[in-house]
Amino acid sequence: MSETTSVRSNGVLQLIDGKKYRGYLEAGETGAAFYQKGKSEPFVEWHYTRIHRMDNIRRGGTTTQTTVILKDGSRYIFDLDYGLKVYNFMDGHWADKPVTPKTRGDELKRLAELRGEKIQVPKKHLITRRHPNRSIAGDIGIYLMLLIVGFAMVFPLLFLVGSSLKPLDELFRFPPPVWPQHPTMDNFSDLFVTMGQSWVPFSRYLINTVIITAVGTFGHLVIASMAAFVLAKYDFPGGKLFFNVVTTCLMFSGYVTGIPNYLIMSRLGMIDTYWALILPAFAAPIGLFLMKQFMEGLPTALIEAATIDGAGKFRIFWSIVMPNVKPAWLTMIIFSVQSLWNTSAATVIYSEAKKTLVYALQQIQAGGIARTGQVAAANVIIVAVPILIFVFSQSRILETMASSGIKD
């Protein structure tokens, strides 16, 4: 009982005048309240009337949604993601204006002014200790460790970027500098010259990789999301079993199944076509797995309401579920891009004109020590793409990963 009596969602509350407050919504037995970050007094409260006590609440699909179902059957979705919006299932509409709450602070101020008192504003501490049970020595130790190991993690990447900027004489200087004294872009221009002289132009490898990555990722997103949707939201014979099989297959990378895959593809006549890389990518287990786990968090009420309105499965999927799982899209996209972008595909594609960027890179590398600078330059180009995508989509990806656990 006590487990279901209150639920929290983090988010931003936006008032009518445009002011934004970061914090969380807590929905409980008797009402809901919004707490500003770090404050213990509620910023604004709603009370359900006594006869309409809450019956059931759930955390929504995104971390900012909370659904409250009252005893009389009316339902409210508090959605902090787009300012505070309240969806009333009795009317079937989102309230057209954000609610303008009166804060408890305002109320206290008003009362105090009536009494002619001055309110004391609590002093802000310069350093706030977030955890009372942490030792300072331990904190310092952790910071030091993070610093040292963090540096060890970045060092090889820095070295890579450094090498790509080194002029030839610095690449072979003793002792070798980590960062060049006279950085130059020569390696990058040399790379394009070398590639330009090769039988197949560099741009061709790039285009191949881009095509494979784009088509593979798009198809994966649509096909795996469709499957994830029914697995997460409907109970049908075979569904659970199928998902368990997918979870087990998370472990088998492309290498282990490489040989039989080659045999199957040659039967299907897909060897030496882009499809040999694209089609297996459509069915990557990790994407389905993450999407299904994330979709499970969507409020079932949303889907039930749409079903009652007579929407078909496809409409529910396309116009209700998919817009609500955008963080999971990004996660699927990055995992798919990451694996396709880095694929060398040497085993299933043999025409030079269809090979990928990574394959081309490995060929330059085979050119030996004299190409050290160019290899580093090519590596920088290849590595930059997935890292940049991750940097820009980090928060959304983490939101999806929060539901990634395997329940045993």
Partner 1 sequence: MQKTQSFASRYMAMKRERFQHGLQTAKKNRGCYLFLAPYAVLFFTFFILPIATSIFYSFTYYNILEPARFIGLQNYVNLILQDEVFLTAIKNTFVIAVITGPVGYILSFLFAWFINELPKWLRAVAVVVFYAPSIAGAAFTVFSIIFRGDAYGWFNSILMEFGLIEAPRLWLTDPNYMMTILVIVILWMSMGTGFLSFVAGFQGIDKSMYEAGYVDGVRNRWQELYHITLPSMKPMLLFGAVMSITSAFNVSDVPRLLCGYPSTDYAARTVVTHLFDYGFSRFEMGYASAIATILFLVMILCKKAISAMLGRVGA
Quote the DSSP letter at residue 266. H
Asked if 283 is part of the footprint of partner 1 (rule: CB under 8 A), the reply reads: yes
Q: Which is nearer to partner 1, 146 or 185 (CB)?
A: 146
Per DSSP, which regions of 255-408 are E strands? none
Which of 168, 206, 210, 223 is in the footprint of partner 1 by CB under 8 A?
A: 223
Give the CA-trace dihedral at 124, 128, 133, 138, to 10 degrees: -160
Integer Cα distance of 355 and 165 in angstroms: 27
Min CB(242)–partner 1 separation in Å: 7
Min CB(163)–partner 1 separation in Å: 6
Q: Which two tokens stand for residue 116?
A: 């002619």
152 membership: H or E segment, kind and range: helix 136-165
Which of 279, 306, 311, 320 is in the footprint of partner 1 by CB under 8 A?
A: 279
Asked if 3 is part of the footprint of partner 1 (rule: CB under 8 A), the reply reads: no
Integer Cα distance of 378 and 202 in angstroms: 11
Integer Cα distance of 357 and 341 in angstroms: 8
Which of 313, 318, 352, 393 is in the footprint of partner 1 by CB under 8 A?
A: 313
If binding means CB under 8 A, how many residues of this protein chain bind partner 1? 107
Rounded to the nearest 10 degrees, the angle between the axes of helix 357-366 and helix 186-197 is 100
Binding part of the chain for partner 1, among 105-113, 206-214, 219-227, 301-309 by CB under 8 A, reads 219-227
Which of 86, 210, 320, 401 is in the footprint of partner 1 by CB under 8 A?
A: 401
Q: HSE on the CB side for 84, CA within 13 Å?
A: 30
Min CB(189)–partner 1 separation in Å: 20
Asked if 160 is part of the footprint of partner 1 (rule: CB under 8 A), the reply reads: yes
Asked if 229 is part of the footprint of partner 1 (rule: CB under 8 A), the reply reads: yes
CB–CB of 34/101 below 8 Å?
A: yes
Integer Cα distance of 325 and 62 in angstroms: 7
Min CB(61)–partner 1 separation in Å: 14
Integer Cα distance of 86 and 70 in angstroms: 14
Asked if 37 is part of the footprint of partner 1 (rule: CB under 8 A), the reply reads: no
Asked if 185 is part of the footprint of partner 1 (rule: CB under 8 A), the reply reads: no
Which of 90, 250, 308, 353 is in the footprint of partner 1 by CB under 8 A?
A: 250
Which of 18, 116, 122, 238 is in the footprint of partner 1 by CB under 8 A?
A: 238
Min CB(276)–partner 1 separation in Å: 10
Integer Cα distance of 160 and 109 in angstroms: 60
Asked if 29 is part of the footprint of partner 1 (rule: CB under 8 A), the reply reads: no
Asked if 368 is part of the footprint of partner 1 (rule: CB under 8 A), the reply reads: no
Quote the DSSP letter at residue 355. -
C-alpha distances (whole Å) from 294 to each of 45, 291, 333 are 29, 5, 14
Min CB(49)–partner 1 separation in Å: 26
Min CB(85)–partner 1 separation in Å: 23
Integer Cα distance of 382 and 340 in angstroms: 12
Asked if 406 is part of the footprint of partner 1 (rule: CB under 8 A), the reply reads: yes
Asked if 317 is part of the footprint of partner 1 (rule: CB under 8 A), the reply reads: yes
Integer Cα distance of 28 and 65 in angstroms: 14
What single-letter amino acid sits at 370? A
Min CB(187)–partner 1 separation in Å: 13
Asked if 234 is part of the footprint of partner 1 (rule: CB under 8 A), the reply reads: yes
Binders of partner 1 in range 61-100 (CB under 8 A): 63
Which of 159, 192, 218, 318 is in the footprint of partner 1 by CB under 8 A?
A: 159
Residue of 66, 7, 16, 11 lying closest to 36 (CA atoms): 11
Q: Which is nearer to partner 1, 112 or 149 (CB)?
A: 149
Asked if 302 is part of the footprint of partner 1 (rule: CB under 8 A), the reply reads: no
Give residues with Cβ within 8 angstroms of 42, minimum separation 6.
Answer: 33, 34, 35, 104
Asked if 138 is part of the footprint of partner 1 (rule: CB under 8 A), the reply reads: yes
Binders of partner 1 in range 329-358 (CB under 8 A): 334-335, 338, 341-342, 347, 358
Integer Cα distance of 381 and 26 in angstroms: 46
